[in-house]
Structure 1
Amino acid sequence: MSTTFIRNHQFNVIKKQSEFLLKTLRTVADRRVLETVRFSSVANIMDAFPSLTEDQKRMLGEVSTFERAEDFERYLNDLEPYLEPFPTITPKQIQKLFPKNKKLKLPDLTSVDFRYVTYLGWVDIASNRLFIVYPFEGRFIGIEGRITPTNKKGYCLFCNRHQELALFSVKTKPSGASADNLSAISHYVCLESQGCNHSITDTTALEKFILSASK
């Protein structure tokens, strides 16, 4: 059985670099430029991982040897068994993350391919609320807030892609403040979480927002 080591956002980095390298191969004839792009693509992939074994480095570095679209497609398919899925979570665990929400609308977990999930996000249309569950240091963090569609495109805080956005506002209680003295943090994020998960390549902004919103 394959040892999983590639998280969803890291796989997105690999896909992005593979697509860029293939596009360069199709449009650039200068071999020196091509070799530079090959080198930078591998470097960018390696940089997405805090640590790798020599075998893992060799496996990921194969991307620099490809010439055809079929080679890149096979490369990505061969990496799928090494994807580390979002940790197993049950409806009861999700409910415990939002104890104040007695009418919590749960996501359909059976329809989710957890290999391609960095954060679990879903919208309750009736209440205009976005719910996010994120695994952090061996535990799950859940945040919820009001979501207001902007009806315009911009760059999402989480995945940094140009997409239709919504303003996500989460109420927080500053340290030492009373329950009546709440503040809020707000950012523009993708209106559609699945597409966001398919594009996110770095969890830094996502984690910073979630940790700030969960205080």
Structure 2
Amino acid sequence: MSQEKVFDLFPSLSEEQKAVLQPLTAVKEPADAENFLGQLVAYVVPFQNVTDQHLKKLFPKAKKLKGPKLDTFDFRKLSYLGWIESSTLMYLVIERDGRLDGVHGSFNRSAKYGICSICNRHSEVGLFTARTKGSGQDNFIKRGNYICQDSATCNSNIDTLEYLHKFVDLLQ
């Protein structure tokens, strides 16, 4: 049943790709699953490499953008890049269709646990809100939702990019 679910996620697999996923049927214990996932690491497509120049192009209005220390990130384990600056300003960078897209907004930490809109898991969350252009000349609309306070934890919890893309689409 697991193999069926995996193959449904990737409907256009080649025979070689199916052969890589074939050992999934032998997984019976958690240790077997860890070994199988360890073998798949070589096939993981990493998040696009980001530089400080990329960040400045994505957020041209942010004059005092410091950005995160990019050399501390393992891009193979990222689904998105997120960081907080000046305690309440948060930046998110996602990759979609081979290009980078950025969203920034305010982030208010809370001492509450809830369901994150990005990873869809229960964790310590905060309210992320972004201003978007409204229908009028100078009209702006604030939109947002609760997301994990720690983007590293959120990245490790992500199973599918569906929720991440829905969240960014809501903000834009």
TM-score clears 0.5: yes
- Tell me how far apart the structure 2 counterparts of residues 154 and 186 of structure 1 sit (CA, whole Å): 15
**Does residue 67 of structure 1 match 2:28?**
yes
Which residue identity does 1:76 align to in structure 2?
A: L
- Equivalenced residue count is 172
- Tell me how far apart the structure 1 counterparts of residues 162 and 92 of structure 2 sit (CA, whole Å): 16
Flag structure 1 segments of 5+ consecutive residues without an equivalent.
Answer: 1-38
TM-score by length of 1: 0.74
SS of the residue corresponding to residue 198 of structure 1 reads helix
SS of the residue corresponding to residue 60 of structure 2 reads coil
TM-superposed deviation, 1:127: 4.2
* Equivalent residue number for residue 171 of structure 1: 131
More helix by percentage = 1
Name the % identity.
38
**Does residue 193 of structure 1 match 2:151?**
yes
TM-superposed deviation, 1:50: 4.8
What's the CA shift string for 1:51-89, capped at 9, x where partnerless? 321221232231221334443222111111111000122
TM-score by length of 2: 0.92
Bigger Cα Rg: 1
* Equivalent residue number for residue 18 of structure 1: none
TM-superposed deviation, 1:207: 1.0
- RMSD after superposition: 1.6
What's the CA shift string for 1:126-174, capped at 9, x where partnerless? 2411100011123211100101112111111111111000010010002
- Tell me how far apart the structure 1 counterparts of residues 58 and 11 of structure 2 sit (CA, whole Å): 29
- More displaced stretch, 96-105 vs 65-74: 65-74
* Equivalent residue number for residue 111 of structure 1: 72
Higher relative contact order (CA 8 A, sep 6+): 1
- Tell me how far apart the structure 1 counterparts of residues 42 and 4 of structure 2 sit (CA, whole Å): 22
